[in-house]
Amino acid sequence: MTVLDRIAISAEMAMAQSQPALLLDRVRKRYGASFALDDVSFSIAPGEVVALLGPSGAGKSTVFRCISRLATIDGGRVAVLGQDMAGMDRRALREHRRGIGLIFQQFNLIGRSTALDNTLAGRLGHAPTWRVLLRQFSADDRQLALAALDRVGLLDKAYQRADSLSGGQQQRVAIARVLAQQSRLVLADEPVASLDPAAAANVLGVLRDIARERGIAVLCSLHQTDLARRYADRIVAMRHGKLMLDQPTGTVTVPSLNAVYA
């Protein structure tokens, strides 16, 4: 690699870090006569963890669906990793979704498969079709998955069935899966709702540390305001489809959060 090549790569990386990993600009989404999202705007930088708060029906799930383009917006703009989601054809959208990792409340693991096999599921979008059908991943993919399990502290559980792991361990396997996917944006939808307080703190701590280490942007919907204040860099709060709050966590007051849930 020449010096010019290195300069070009460095410039490209710097540009990627300078632009938002996620941008919602005046997004509107209507269901019938009602707006699920009404003029919602916020952004997330690489390496930033943003907690999305709000009561049931606030529009949090709709935000996730619009970001992944499972729902089509009625106005505004959604840009993921610098690309306008609305302007992509089916093939481009499939390619772009490789960079978006998903973490769910119920883990979405295959219980009878090992932690390693579940982590390797993050490589499905990168592997040739024949390898996916035969479940024959390359040595590089397996090493990447093992490294991901090691990072979340579960290398010793790699060959253990997922359904034999605790809830917190299963959610860390889900984090390892998005690491193996090499995601640059992670959407975590109530990832600790079914965990006890200690396990929830452990999972969010791992997610925050990985985001900072690897420059991964994280949007995490939560109901626990105390966890949001401990682990998020910024809090975005919604109510009735409208943005109520968008502030650095250190400046958010308890009364302002209470007003969101009042």
Angstrom distance (rounded) from CA 125 to CA 100: 11
Residue 14: is its pLDDT beyond 90?
Answer: no
- For residue 8, what are its two tokens? 């070009």
Q: How many CA atoms lie within 13 A of 126 on its CB side?
A: 21
Task: Please classify residue 234 by burial: count the beta carbons closer than 10 Å to its beta carbon, then call 0-12 exposed, 13-18 middle and 19+ buried.
Answer: buried
Residue 9 pLDDT: 41
5 has a pLDDT exceeding 60: no
What is the percentage of the chain residues whose pLDDT exceeds 90?
76
pLDDT exceeds cutoff 80 at 2: no
Is residue 27 scored above 70 in pLDDT?
Answer: yes
pLDDT of residue 75: 96
CB 259 within 8 A of CB 244: yes
List pLDDT tens digits, range 84-106. 988 888 888 888 888 999 999 88
User: For 183-212, how does the pLDDT look when each residue is reduced to its tens digit (9 = 90+)?
Assistant: 999 999 999 999 999 999 999 999 999 999
- For residue 130, the model assigns a pLDDT of 53
Mean pLDDT of all residues in 162-189 = 96
| pLDDT score for 33 | 87
Instruction: Check residue 45 and report its DSSP letter.
Output: -
Backbone angles phi, psi at 44, to 5 degrees: -135, 130
- Closest listed residue to residue 250, CA positions, set 225, 233, 236: 233
185-189/49-53 β-pairing: unpaired
What CATH number labels 19-261? 3.40.50.300
- Tell me the average pLDDT across 70-76: 94
Under a CB-based contact definition with an 8 Å cutoff, are residues 162 and 76 in contact? no
Confidence of residue 7 (pLDDT cuts 50, 70, 90): very low
Q: Say which range, 115-119, 121-125, 141-145, 167-171, has the weakest mean pLDDT.
A: 121-125
* C-alpha to C-alpha distance for 69 and 44, rounded to whole angstroms: 17
Which pLDDT belongs to residue 133?
52
pLDDT for the residue 125? 76
Tell me how many degrees the CA angle 98-117-194 measures, rounded to the nearest 5.
80
Looking at the DSSP bridge assignments, the partners of residue 191 are: none
Q: Tell me what pLDDT residue 137 has.
A: 84
Domain layout of the chain by residue ranges: 19-261
Taking CA atoms, 114 is separated from 23, 104, 138, 144, 177, in Å, by 36, 18, 17, 15, 12
- Amino acid letter, residue 20: P
Q: Quote the mean pLDDT of the chain.
A: 89
